[in-house]
Amino acid sequence: MLCKSILSAAVLASSAFARPASQLPADGFPNPDAKQLSAISGEADGTLPNGPPPPTLNASSIPIFQLINFNENFEVAFFNSLIHNITTGVSGFQIPFDQEKKALLSVLRTVLAQEELHSINAAGVISHFGGVVPAPCVYKFPTTDVIGAISLAETFTSLVLGTLQDASEGLSINGDHGPVRAVGSVIGQEGEQTGYFRSLLNARPSEKPFLTTSLAEFAFSALQDFIVSCPFDIASTIPIPIHPTIAVLNDSSVAVKNESLTFTADLTNVSAAQPFYGNAGAVDMGLFMTYFTGQDAPLSMPVTNASWTGNVLTFTAAFPYHEYVMDGLTIGALTTSGNLSSPAAVGAATLAAPALINLANHIV
């Protein structure tokens, strides 16, 4: 029997954030000297790409590498915190079996070092072409136990896998074929990580035949929820739109069975949402929940049962799980159109995003 469950939408919506004491690994990251870099490479089971950079880079491609770097810096802090918690036996992170603990820590240390090299590589591209490298920020993590943390890691890595598709397409549109090969190598690398995380969660390692796509602005928006503060002004340094994120409410595994979900988003600072403020209850209010699942065309469902608390919109939308076989990650956006033909068109019509709905088919 297949058991559907939400891997981590609930954790992402949690407000029980706490800020760990030390966030960056003590190995020279993000600016290791040659000796430190060699130690990180040893832990990562490989080196940075050592070929020359591409001769030119379109200025439009700089934000692509800024987002990759910004995301990897968060991942470095997250995995460093997780390793610290497991190593020191923080409550919720105690693993009683010594061999299991050693094995998990060994994998996570390698993942951490690999994420450090992803970050350093993106920073190298940005600085080589005169862009501003985003320094690591101070982060907050919503997770308080090892399963929750692995679930969250699985979800944000899946989101990254979709976002790197957008990065590859963006580089191609910008005429920058040079870095596409390296980005492709990272897509596979991060997919190996999710396969391992999914196995730990008793889900099948390979998520979908075609992994769910995403947009740079959706990953960038989701990351904002983990930021306490950054040593630079985010909006003026990285020119990618930021949307309010959407929380998935209630026991979603029940809702999924019923094929509808309840969502909420704070649209306070969204000027395009102003015409909709207070427009409650209507079934044809002109708003849609638009899903990315796999490589399917954007799938739009009308917003129903809307209610407002101030500028916070709560609403229901169908989640046609069976018809579209929506296992794994589905990414939702609140949009002003229900007829969107491409991911880019979804971004242009978005009021809030992403909603992250991550369903696991557990191994029986």
Ligand X SMILES: *[C@@H]1O[C@H](CO)[C@@H](O)[C@H](O)[C@H]1NC(C)=O
| Contact set with ligand X (CB under 6 A) | 18, 20, 58, 60, 78, 81-82, 85, 90, 141, 143-144, 149, 173-175, 244, 249-250, 254, 258, 262, 266, 268-269, 305, 307, 316, 339, 341
Residue among 41 and 144 whose Cβ is closer to ligand X: 144
Residue among 199 and 224 whose Cβ is closer to ligand X: 224
Q: Could you give the CA distance from residue 288 to residue 302 in angstroms, rounded to a whole number?
A: 4
Instruction: Name the amino acid, one letter, at 267.
Output: L
Q: How far is the CB of 256 from ligand X (least distance, A)?
A: 10
Residue among 141 and 197 whose Cβ is closer to ligand X: 141
Q: How far is the CB of 106 from ligand X (least distance, A)?
A: 17
How many Cβ atoms sit within 10 Å of the Cβ of residue 243?
24
Q: Could you give the CA distance from residue 183 to residue 188 in angstroms, rounded to a whole number?
A: 9
Asked whether the CA dihedral 5, 8, 9, 15 is positive or negative, the reply is positive
Q: Could you give the CA distance from residue 321 to residue 302 in angstroms, rounded to a whole number?
A: 15
Residue among 153 and 164 whose Cβ is closer to ligand X: 153
Q: Which residue has the tokens 């309840």?
A: 262
User: Whose CB is nearest to ligand X?
Assistant: 175
Distance of CA 9 to the CA centre of its chain: 12
Q: How far is the CB of 172 from ligand X (least distance, A)?
A: 9
- Which parts of 201-342 fold into alpha helices (H)? 216-224, 234-237, 252-257, 321-324
Residue among 185 and 268 whose Cβ is closer to ligand X: 268
Q: How far is the CB of 206 from ligand X (least distance, A)?
A: 25
- Cis before 63 (ω within 30): no
Q: How far is the CB of 269 from ligand X (least distance, A)?
A: 4
Residue among 37 and 263 whose Cβ is closer to ligand X: 263
Residue among 254 and 364 whose Cβ is closer to ligand X: 254
Among 160, 167, 166, 165, which residue's Cα sits nearest to residue 219? Answer: 160
CB 5 within 8 A of CB 359: yes
Q: Could you give the CA distance from residue 163 to residue 190 in angstroms, rounded to a whole number?
A: 12
Q: Which residue has the tokens 């950054």?
A: 230
Q: How far is the CB of 158 from ligand X (least distance, A)?
A: 17
Residue among 19 and 181 whose Cβ is closer to ligand X: 19
Q: How far is the CB of 15 from ligand X (least distance, A)?
A: 11
CB 149 within 8 A of CB 156: no
Among 192, 191, 220, 211, which residue's Cα sits nearest to residue 65? Answer: 220
Q: How far is the CB of 45 from ligand X (least distance, A)?
A: 22
